[in-house]
Each structure stands twice: as C-alpha cells, then as structure tokens.
Amino acid sequence: MEAYTSTGMKKALLLLNCILLAIGNCGGPLIMRLYFTKGGKRVWLSSWLETAGWPIMFIPIIINYIHRRAKDSSTTTKLFFMKPRLFIASAVIGILTGADDYLYAYGVARLPVSTSALIIATQLAFTAGFAYLLVKQKFTSYSINAVVLLSVGAGVLALHTSSDRPNGESDKQYYLGFFMTLVAAALYGFILPLVELTYKKAKQAISYTLVMEIQMVMCFFATAFCTVGMLFNNDFKVIPREAREYELGEAKYYVVLVFSAILWQGFFLGAIGVIFCASSLFSGILIAVLLPATETLAVVFYHEKFKAEKGVALVLSLWGFVSYFYGAIKHSKKRSQTRSQAQQIDMTQKIEMTQIGTP
C-alpha cells in the first residue's frame, strides 16, 4: 500500500475532510441539543450516538476494495490494511473517545449550545500543548497568537455564565455541565495529537483508506464503551417509552437519533482526516474557527441569548482565526520561495558541473 503523495490529491482530501468536519461540528451539537430540549434525557444514549454510525465506514472501504480489485484481480488484494500494532492503538484511542463523548454529551444536556460551543473552543489550547509534547509541533508567533486569542475568548464565558442557565436547572447542575464540557475539551485536545502520533509511529504507510479503517475501529470501541454505560443505565429499555413521549412525535424521535449518528460520524472522520492531510493543530484550529457558525445557528434555531460575554468571545475567536491563517499564508509563501531558490541553486550547480566536464 502506498501513501498518497500527490499534492493535488492531498488538497482535495483536505477540502473534503474540512467540509465533513464543518458539517459535523455545526450539526452535531445542534441536533444533540434538539434531543434534550424536546424531552430526551438519556446522556449515555447521546454519547453512544456520537460514534454509533461507525458501520457507515464500511461503504467507502468496500467501494475502495472493489475499485482496487478491478485494477488488480490477484487474490492477494486485501479488504483491510491495518496491522495489529495500529489496531491496538486505535482501540485505545477509541475508548478515550467514548469517555470524551460522555463528558461532552453531559455538558450539552446542561448548557445552551452557544455556551458549550464556546467552552469547547478551549480545546485548541489543550491541542496545542499536547501537540508540542507528543509530536513536537512547531509554532510561529501567529499560531501562538491564535491559540491564546481563541482560548481567552472561550475563557471569557466563565464570567457570569449562570445568566444563561436553562429554566428549572440548579446551579449545581449548570456548573457541573460547564466543568464536564471543559474536561471534554481537554481530553479531545489530547486525542487529536495522539492520533497524529499514531500515524507517525504506525510503522506502515498511511493512506486515506487506512485513515477510514482507523476511524472505524476508534468509533467501534468508543461505541462499545458507551454501550456498557447504556446497559448499566437501562437506556435500551427506556428508548421506546421516551420515543412515545417525545414532543416532536415518535417517528421524529428516531429521525433525530439517526441523523445525530450520521452527523457525528462526519465530524470524527473529518477531524482525523484533517490530521492526515495537515496536522492535529490545524484540526483543532478548524474546530475552534467553526465556532461562529455554531454560535449563530444556536441563536437562530433555539433563540438562545447572546450576552456581551459571548460577543467578546466571538470577536476574539475570529481574531485568532485571521491571525492563524495570515501566518499560515506567510509561512507557505516563504517556504515556496525557499524551495524555488534551492531549485535555482541546484540547477546552476548542475550547469556549472556540465560546463566543467565539457572539453
């Protein structure tokens, strides 16, 4: 198996995964909140749905396999490429993801979407720190500025956050939701660089096909982790009754569950796909940058309050976004100039060597 080396292919895959991440990152929290606001109460079920869509990954994997078999009809063509070492690493990350799913679902159950989205933006600071420790991520003044602005912007929410507490919710429940969401941000900030480290230590070529396999294994074990929680909490037995009592109706209850699984699957595939095409830091930046869209959609669809603290956090987040990409563009131009100069020097040296060798 060969890793993708084409620059054009990498850019196309990066764009595709950015789109998947954007749809999942904005749609996932909104539909999860819809479940809770219309009568849903099962936190373990919501966390389970975040990765329960893993069988969807069989579709592109099998299509890719059929395509490869058509090009090479030999019996040695494999359906899966993953080796035991990579399987074990993916399983461990999957269990951590399952724990993170529960923490996040608990937070969304207690907080408005706009508030939980802004808290999740602190994930970027954790991603940056763990990326530096695990994969030796190099930082520029622009990327550091972006991390600080995005993190401070989310931290501003700690001021007077209880003013947007949902009706009927105690201070204890609200602050516990705030804390659980913050811990979820920290844990996922660790998971993203861990995925990048797994790619580097895999001891086998990483292609996008293998990325999909990693995604499937991670989500399978995350789902298994949440399934255990659902069994202990008797969630499977309660689902039919909860569906009958759901405010939007029984049929729409199941539609909400199905779409939740699909949207979250897009988020997770997009996140690790962006890591494959770029880096864990870029994946974290993109998640934080999508904050304004999630924030706006929450205000539009759920009529959530837009307090001054959220406005300040939003401005700081957008400022951080501009800072990061301005720095990325400058770095890309500088790297291109350096590469061009190196090629010119190399060409000049070859010409000189040719002239010297000519009698």
Instruction: Determine the angle formed by the axes of helices 250-277 and 171-200, rounding to 10 degrees.
Output: 40
Higher pLDDT, 309 or 210: 210
Question: From CA 197, how far away is CA 195, in angstroms rounded?
Answer: 5
pTM of the entire predicted model: 0.81
Q: Is the dihedral of CA 278, 283, 285, 287 positive or negative?
A: positive
Is 241 a residue whose pLDDT tops 90? yes
Task: Please enumerate in sequence order all residues whose Cβ is within 8 A of that of 152, keeping only pairs 6 or more positions apart, or say none.
Answer: 316
Length of the chain as a residue count: 359
pLDDT band at 191 (very low <50, low <70, confident <90, very high): very high
Torsion angle of alpha carbons 168, 170, 173, 179, nearest 10°?
120
Place of tokens 């219309």: 38
> Residue 167: pLDDT above 60?
yes
CA 127 to chain centre: 11
Mean pLDDT of the chain: 82
Q: Give the whole-angstrom CA distance, residue 305 versus residue 50.
A: 26
Q: Measured at the alpha carbon of residue 58, what is the angle toward residues 55 and 61, in degrees to the nearest 5?
A: 155
Residues 40, 211 contacting (CB under 8 angstroms): no
- Residue holding tokens 């689902």? 239
Which residue in 68, 51, 92, 88 sits closest to 216, CA to CA? Answer: 51
Q: What is the pLDDT of residue 351?
A: 63
What is residue 169's three-state secondary structure?
coil
pLDDT-derived band at 335, boundaries 50, 70, 90: low
Interaxial angle between packed helices 113-120 and 84-110, expressed in degrees from 0 to 180 and rounded to the nearest 10? 140
User: Tens of pLDDT along 135-156?
Assistant: 887 777 777 777 777 667 666 6
| Residue 239 confidence (pLDDT) above 90 | yes
Contact 164, 115 (CB under 8 A): yes
**Rounded Cα distance, 26 and 29, in Å:** 6
- Position 296 scores a pLDDT of 76
Note whether 333 and 141 are within 8 A (CB): no
* 310, 295 contact by CB (below 8 A): yes
Separation CA 268–CA 222 (nearest Å): 11
119 vs 91, more confident:
91
End-to-end CA distance of the chain: 47
DSSP 197-210: HHHHTSSS---HHH
Name 134's Cβ contacts closer than 8 Å, sequence gap at least 6: 193, 194, 196, 197
Cα pseudo-dihedral 239, 227, 208, 329, rounded to 10: 80
Q: What is the pLDDT of residue 218?
A: 95
Find where tokens 């912007």 sit.
Answer: 153
Helix, strand or coil for residue 353? helix
Separation of CA 139 from chain center:
21
The segment with the largest mean pLDDT, out of 194-198, 280-284, 348-352, is 194-198
Please determine, for residue 93, whether its predicted confidence score (pLDDT) is greater than 60. Answer: yes
**Residue 12 neighbours by CB distance under 10 Å:** 13
| Closest alpha carbon to 202 in 83, 79, 78 | 83
